[in-house]
Amino acid sequence: MCHTIRTVLVAGFSLLILGTTVAIHQAMAPTAPVAIPSRKPDRPLPGVADAKPRYWKGNLHTHSLWSDGDDFPEMIGDWYKQNGYHFLALTEHNVIAEGDRWISATQNPIREKAVADYRNRFGDAWVERRTNGGKAEVRLKPQSEYRSLLNEAGRFLIIPGEEITSRYAKSPVHINSINLQKLIPPLVGDSVLETVRVNLAAVADQRKQAGTPMIAFLNHPNFGWGVRAEELIRADMLRFFEVYNGHPGVQNYGDAEHPSCEEIWDQANFTRITEYGLPLVYGLATDDAHQYHQWGGTESNPGRGWVMVRAPHLTAEHVIAGLEAGDFYSTTGVLFDEIRRDGMTYRLKIQPQPGVHYKTEFIVARKTARDKAAISPKATANAAVLPPETGSKNRPVLSQVVATVDGLTPSYTLTGDELFVRARVTSSKRHINPFKAGDYEMAWTQPFHP
């Protein structure tokens, strides 16, 4: 058959079938129009139209049985959710909770208790157990699986994370990466500073490749006295560090030879601005929780320190945007209704608690502080661009408390010569499970340029 005739026949036959199909359909068509299931486009999704920025409570540093924590990740997420948190990052040491993993159900009495509690709370339809070589095992569920059970729109969100756990010589360098998508193996540079830098760069690289917001922050600088102000000053990509970490071994308050994390913070920000023109580093409070079965000062328990991040929606992207904008504060119990700047006035509104008093200290580094500091020979030796091996304790603290205000609505009027301003609030209420015996509840606002 020639090509033209075949084409005409095929086309004619197709038209016949189509015509018959249309006729049958017309015969069967209902008289009323087909109702399309409505998605109510005229009505915004609840929580969207009226979404205003509000504070979300979250912890960005947590360990589970996927690394060296002593509880199942679902149980930990459940604890935080029950205790009023809105978001949680489980940040295991050099591990991402993915793949098939089974652990002993009977390794020690704490593990046995963890398994019993897990079965009680989540039930045997959820908890997977097996016997392997005569030993009882439990499956550690990957995050992709368990977060579906805990996440709730506008109420609770698990954000992926990892504690990139590196070291240079004897100095631990731990960097948390939040909202990462794949594991970042710890890198080691040729100094503490370079080790900080290469790991921050690895997170930035992944962020760029994935096209997804991610942040990295330097953890517990005083742990093992691993990281000093010098590294915070010169790590140009650094935007966040832990000014407070709830793990009892991290030396938040320094000692006779080492500055506190708060002193490191101000030292670093002062020199970053004056010497290097770098952005301010923001201070985070985290739990670094590992222990969920025994409670007290020697354990690293949940609930010690957290962040309150202002954002319109509870999504990883919005939380990260709030953190990057410095629109958050860190706390061990003191809460704010509002943090605001009216022209030259910086105002805080503290949430009252019955019978509790608050003292707010406004901390300022002035542009003139550097000239004054240079008068002291000790300061001259340290305040300039420091050689990398200079100890931090001798570095002059060029910030000072410029006002101490009691009450729920403290404010500070800027003079215009501030390099940065921040506030620290101390409550008269003792922390229920403190980092250090006798600690009062506190909060730290983020430094800002006037």
Residues found near Zn ion in the complex (CB under 5 A): 163, 174, 219, 288
Q: Which of 426, 410, 270 is nearest to 345 (CA)?
A: 410
Among all residues, whose Cβ is closest to Zn ion?
174
Provide the minimum distance between the beta carbon of 231 and Zn ion in the complex, in angstroms, as a whole number: 15
Provide the minimum distance between the beta carbon of 237 and Zn ion in the complex, in angstroms, as a whole number: 19
Are β-strands 345-350 and 129-132 bridged in parallel, bridged antiparallel, or unpaired?
unpaired
Q: What is the dihedral of CA 421, 427, 432, 436, to 10 degrees?
A: 60
Q: Which is nearer to Zn ion, 163 or 441 (CB)?
A: 163
Tokens of residue 55, six digits: 């504070």
Q: Which is nearer to Zn ion, 247 or 422 (CB)?
A: 247
Burial 311-334 (b: 16+ CB within 10 A, else e): bebbbbebbbbbbeebbbbbbbbb
Provide the minimum distance between the beta carbon of 170 and Zn ion in the complex, in angstroms, as a whole number: 15
Provide the minimum distance between the beta carbon of 144 and Zn ion in the complex, in angstroms, as a whole number: 22
Beta strand segments in 73-190, E: 87-93, 101-104, 129-132, 135-140, 157-168, 171-178
Tokens of residue 389, six digits: 């091996």
Provide the minimum distance between the beta carbon of 169 and Zn ion in the complex, in angstroms, as a whole number: 17
Taking the C-alpha atoms of residue 106 and residue 190, their distance in angstroms, rounded to an integer, is 42
Q: Which is nearer to Zn ion, 242 or 418 (CB)?
A: 242
Provide the minimum distance between the beta carbon of 166 and Zn ion in the complex, in angstroms, as a whole number: 10
Q: Which is nearer to Zn ion, 197 or 247 (CB)?
A: 247
| Separation of CA 30 from chain center | 57
Provide the minimum distance between the beta carbon of 346 and Zn ion in the complex, in angstroms, as a whole number: 33
Beta strand segments in 254-381, E: 282-286, 306-311, 328-331, 336-342, 345-350, 358-366
Provide the minimum distance between the beta carbon of 267 and Zn ion in the complex, in angstroms, as a whole number: 22
Q: Which is nearer to Zn ion, 94 or 411 (CB)?
A: 94
Q: Which is nearer to Zn ion, 67 or 191 (CB)?
A: 67
Is the separation of the CB atoms in 336 and 348 below 8 Å?
yes
HEC string for 395-449:
CCCCEEEEEEEECCCCEEECCCCEEEEEEEEEEEEECCCCCCCCCEEEEEECCEC
Q: Which is nearer to Zn ion, 219 or 399 (CB)?
A: 219
**Distances in whole angstroms, Cα of residue 376 to Cα of each of 271, 295, 370, 373, 427:** 17, 47, 11, 6, 35
Q: Which is nearer to Zn ion, 224 or 391 (CB)?
A: 224
